[in-house]
Chains A and B, each alone.
Chain A
Amino acid sequence: MTLLGTFALWAALLLACWSAAIALLGPWQRRPSLAVAVTRGAYAVCGALLVATAALWQGIFAHDFNIEYVWAYTSRNLPTYYLVAGFWAGQKGSLLFWAVILSIFGALAQALTSSRHKHLLPYVAGVTNLVVAFFVAVMLFGHANPFERMAFTPADGRGLNPQLQNPGMVMHPPMLYLGYISITIPFAFAIAALMARRLDTGWIIAMRKWALASWLFLSIGITLGMWWAYVELGWGGVWAWDPVENAPLLAWLTLTAFLHSVMIQEKRGMLKRWNVSLMIGTFLLSIFGTFITRSGVIASVHSFTQSDIGYFFLALLFVSAVLSFTLLYTRWPMLEAEVQLESLLSRESAFLFNNLALVGIAFSVLWGTLFPILSEAVKGTKITVGPPFFDRVNVPLGLFLLLLTGIGPLIAWRKASAANLRRQFIVPLLSGAVSAAALVAVGLRDFYPLVALSLAGFVLGTVAQEFYRGIRARMSLHGEHMLLALAHLIARNRRRYGGYIVHVGIVIYFVAFTGLAFKVKHETVLLPGAVDTIRSPFGHTYTLTHLGVSQYTRLNRHVSVATLEVRLDGERLGTITSEKRQYVDSFDQPTFEPATEIGLRSTLREDLYVVYAGSPDGTEAARYTIMINPLVTWFWIGCGVLTIGGLITMWPGGPQLRTPRRRVVAQAGYAVPLAGVTE
């Protein structure tokens, strides 16, 4: 189906260019029918790319190895679900994946946006189609057409990289892509508002769910990446500050800042310029991340082939930066703030400090990531910075941010007075102090972990108090039962209380990161029957007995598996295995370097993490790296909590005043007394 696929790509390119040109250069303003045609362009491009997607999957599932891409990333003996993943496993396929998802989002933005914001939609279609056109153009003109055929047909494909043959890998890139890609939609709304000169809160209301959705996708994508690195790369950590890991984090940080500061604009009409700039910055960082991932200009332990494709992205980055900021500059006077900051003791200013901290972290990560290039350009020698640099700078900043997470919700919008603050802070401070005292009592003396865990206690105290007082207020104002009050509290203030649940998720991440500071690592060579022990930081002892190494063959690999018997404080828990795998094609020829599968035994408290590093010269002895990683499971739990909170904030159904055919008093949840009006 390569003919149809290539045709669909060309159709998408032409349609996207046409509708983007009309939308952004503007003859539609005087012709309503043209405006309709432009927005139809978003649907048409989506349709064309769906056809191309179907064509590529058809090629993959039909094992049409005459198509270069199918040959390079799949093979006959690949399990079906990895065939699905083969679609985005390579450069070319992932470009198509990117384009089709963006066009789907673009079409959804047209379909789901309320008719009140219709005036923005042709511009939105223009921006999304322009970005889609860019991706399709890279495929067609950057030697990256996934439908390219070869002069001959190989009997079998090269297969999928074994490190990608992991359930996490089926989910991780699409999730991260969904995050990256969906950023384009809020960005398109920002540009549309600037172009239409409609800079009231309309565009923010139209796009805020999109921004939340991108944030959620990015969070899940980043966490899946951590999980994949943890179970697949065999070094027992989740985060290495590698450029490719930093890239999505950058966009995540600025988007987080945006989600907070945008509330100030909605409520107070302040920070309009800052919000538009943050949105533009987030989009540029998402393109920058793609550039880093695909160009190989920055040395990374994630190895890449050098690819010209990166320079297309550099051009896109440059052009979109110049155009967006020029547009922002011409609209600058229209973005005047409506009010000034009323008091330093207000939630507004807590949010502003939170923004500074987030952008500060983003800047330091960007600087550290780019420093090798910058130092080479300025001084002639490359200087790299590694995890020590990022930890040094970001641990204090991260803890400051955690502190603000606890402070912000305690302060009222607009202003607060000192006496009230005392009443607000007692419980959370007490909760933090009790955590600190308890940790010191059990013997924790390290500075940063102590601070981190005490702050975690402080933030949890804040959230608990917010829920408790909210429920109590509803119970006294409405005489509701406690559970009903809780349900109404969350349902009627989804963004606020969903946000608090997200904060709990973030606290859990911090706790899990703190746990990693106490990991125990140990290497050993064991003969069959030999015993080794390792002590967990929680004070108990694992006794491991090497049972032996066995070998067998599976569908697409030869496996050597080493088995350990695990005893915890003398009690037998079972066995744990770690494998060395040699992947082969259907002619039994090795296809990749040997890969390692780690052995993992997870509990809420800690993970036992075993890596079989091979046997010395064919003996039955095995070389092991054994680790105890405390609290790692809490990363995945934190991600779950964060997802639930995020979904609550996004749940459809608008703010309280909107439900029709009910009196305002009934739906507002409590009476709104107007000074000087008696009804």
Chain B
Amino acid sequence: MLIEAIAAGVVGAALLWLVLQPLVSPSPLAPVDLDPLDPEETPRGLALIALKEIEFDRATGKLSDDDYAELNARYSAAAIATLDAVSTTVRCLTHGVCPESAARFCPHCGSGLVTEADACVACGVAVPADAMFCPGCGVRVRGE
């Protein structure tokens, strides 16, 4: 009985510490490497996926040449429209992308924003300032 009560006390204290620790000693907000974006989350990624699919559908005989030409033109245009855009997104770790790209602090919580400047729109990997192609996935990130 006594042992059980002690065990209960220990368990309770441990759980309380687990939950309250971030409140008692908040860790300073350091920029964290965010996981790269899924292609499906970016306009360029979506357009590239659609292009691949169209290509494959033609190869397996699902799309006629006319439909292929029309769809390919449309999604190529969509992909090209995103080509020159190097993202300068700023992102709060808890509130996600901040619409004000010039902001340095999150409008919701005031914590510092992580700059994703020079991140590839297709895969999210950081792109060096002089690179024309993304080192992560190889898509062209800057125009001529």
A and B touch in the complex (CB under 8 A): yes
User: C-beta contact mask, A24-44 vs B, less than 8 Å → 1, else 0?
Assistant: 000011111111110011011
- B109 touching A30 by the CB < 8 A rule? yes
- B19 touching A44 by the CB < 8 A rule? yes
- B139 touching A664 by the CB < 8 A rule? yes
The count of chain B contact residues (Cβ–Cβ below 8 Å) is: 71
A82 CA to B106 CA, complexed, in Å: 55
- B64 touching A36 by the CB < 8 A rule? no
- B14 touching A47 by the CB < 8 A rule? yes
For the complex, is A116 an interface residue (Cβ under 8 Å from B)? yes
- A116 touching B51 by the CB < 8 A rule? no
User: C-beta contact mask, B17-30 vs A, less than 8 Å → 1, else 0?
Assistant: 01111110010010
- A668 touching B111 by the CB < 8 A rule? no
CB distance from A284 to the nearest CB of B (A): 28
For the complex, is A326 an interface residue (Cβ under 8 Å from B)? no
For the complex, is B138 an interface residue (Cβ under 8 Å from A)? yes
A266 CA to B49 CA, complexed, in Å: 11
Interface residues of A in 171-228 (CB under 8 A from B): 196, 198, 200-202, 205
Interface residues of A in 639-679 (CB under 8 A from B): 654-677, 679
Which of A196, A466, A657, A662 gathers the greatest number of chain B CB atoms within 10 Å? A657
- B41 touching A202 by the CB < 8 A rule? yes
Q: Which residues on the A side are within 8 Å of B37 (C-beta)?
A: 116
- B66 touching A412 by the CB < 8 A rule? no
- B11 touching A51 by the CB < 8 A rule? yes
User: C-beta contact mask, A414-434 vs B, less than 8 Å → 1, else 0?
Assistant: 111101100110000000000
Which of A11, A201, A672 gathers the greatest number of chain B CB atoms within 10 Å? A672
Known contacts A654-B38, A674-B79, A37 near B19 by CB under 8 Å: yes
- A34 touching B66 by the CB < 8 A rule? no
In the complex, the chain A residue whose C-beta lies closest to that of B69 is A675
The residue from B18, B23, B55 contacting A34, defined by CB atoms under 8 A apart: B23
For the complex, is A544 an interface residue (Cβ under 8 Å from B)? no
The residue from B11, B39, B71, B122 contacting A4, defined by CB atoms under 8 A apart: B11
CB distance from B58 to the nearest CB of A (A): 9
- B49 touching A37 by the CB < 8 A rule? no
Q: Which residues on the A side are within 8 Å of B33 (C-beta)?
A: 115
For the complex, is A516 an interface residue (Cβ under 8 Å from B)? no
CB distance from A413 to the nearest CB of B (A): 6
Q: Which residues on the A side are within 8 Å of B79 (C-beta)?
A: 674
Q: Which residues on the A side are within 8 Å of B4 (C-beta)?
A: 1, 3-4
Q: Which residues on the B side are within 8 Å of A198 (C-beta)?
A: 96
For the complex, is A473 an interface residue (Cβ under 8 Å from B)? yes
The residue from A15, A116, A419, A673 contacting B55, defined by CB atoms under 8 A apart: A673
- B20 touching A661 by the CB < 8 A rule? no
CB distance from A50 to the nearest CB of B (A): 10
User: C-beta contact mask, B118-135 vs A, less than 8 Å → 1, else 0?
Assistant: 000011010000000001
- B71 touching A414 by the CB < 8 A rule? yes
For the complex, is A267 an interface residue (Cβ under 8 Å from B)? yes
For the complex, is A322 an interface residue (Cβ under 8 Å from B)? no
A524 CA to B109 CA, complexed, in Å: 79
Q: Which residues on the A side are within 8 Å of B14 (C-beta)?
A: 47
21 CB contacts below 8 A, A to B, read: A15-B15, A15-B19, A28-B94, A30-B110, A33-B22, A37-B22, A44-B15, A47-B11, A116-B35, A116-B38, A201-B40, A420-B67, A466-B60, A476-B59, A655-B38, A668-B52, A669-B52, A670-B52, A672-B55, A674-B80, A676-B77
Beyond A412-B62, A660-B137, 4 additional contacts (C-beta under 8 Å) are A40-B22, A657-B137, A675-B73, A675-B76
Listed in ascending order, the chain B residues whose CB lies under 8 Å from chain A are 1, 4-5, 7-8, 11-12, 14-15, 18-23, 26, 29, 32-41, 45-46, 48-53, 55-57, 59-64, 66-67, 71-73, 76-77, 79-80, 92-96, 108-111, 122-123, 125, 135-140
